[in-house]
Amino acid sequence: MADTGIFATTAEVQRKAGAGASSTSKAEAYVNDFMTQAESEINALTRYNWSDNYASLNADVKGVLKEAASNLAAIYVIVYDMSGYNSRTEAEDLINVLRDAYLRCIGILRDKKAQDFMNGA
């Protein structure tokens, strides 16, 4: 099976989920599903279909999309099974860091001036 996500790869999501991530939830099939959900959510929240226009975007825009999607997908990987982490607190700390970065990216992507800048770049 190959990566089917547009914004980020399985390997990028796995790295963010950390060493304690479940082998099931970090498997490519699961990550592909999580990525599809993350990409759709990003498109809906920002009211712009980044997926359809991805090939024409510059590297900076792709980087923000990659960060947002991989952060959200990694949260899904962690939440699926937290038993591999040293503690629930460790898993929750990872989730909090990833959520904060995801929300920052969404804020950038939702900002109309940032969208105009990114689309014109």
DSSP symbol at 55: G
DSSP symbol at 36: H
Task: Match 């099974």 to its residue by tokens.
Answer: 81
Residue 96: which pLDDT band, with cuts at 50, 70 and 90? very high
CA–CA gap between residue 61 and residue 57 (Å, rounded): 6
E-strand ranges in 1-121 read: none
Q: What is the pLDDT of residue 119?
A: 67
The CA distances from residue 53 to 7, 58, 121, in Å, are 11, 11, 13
The CA distances from residue 72 to 77, 79, 83, 101, 119, in Å, are 9, 11, 19, 9, 23
Residue 111: which pLDDT band, with cuts at 50, 70 and 90? confident
The 10s digit of each residue's pLDDT in 15-28 is 999 999 999 999 99
Q: Which two tokens stand for residue 77?
A: 């990987």
114 pLDDT more than 80: no
pTM for the structure as a whole: 0.92
The 10s digit of each residue's pLDDT in 20-72 is 999 999 999 999 999 999 999 999 999 999 999 899 888 888 999 999 999 99
121 pLDDT more than 70: no
The mean pLDDT of the chain is 93
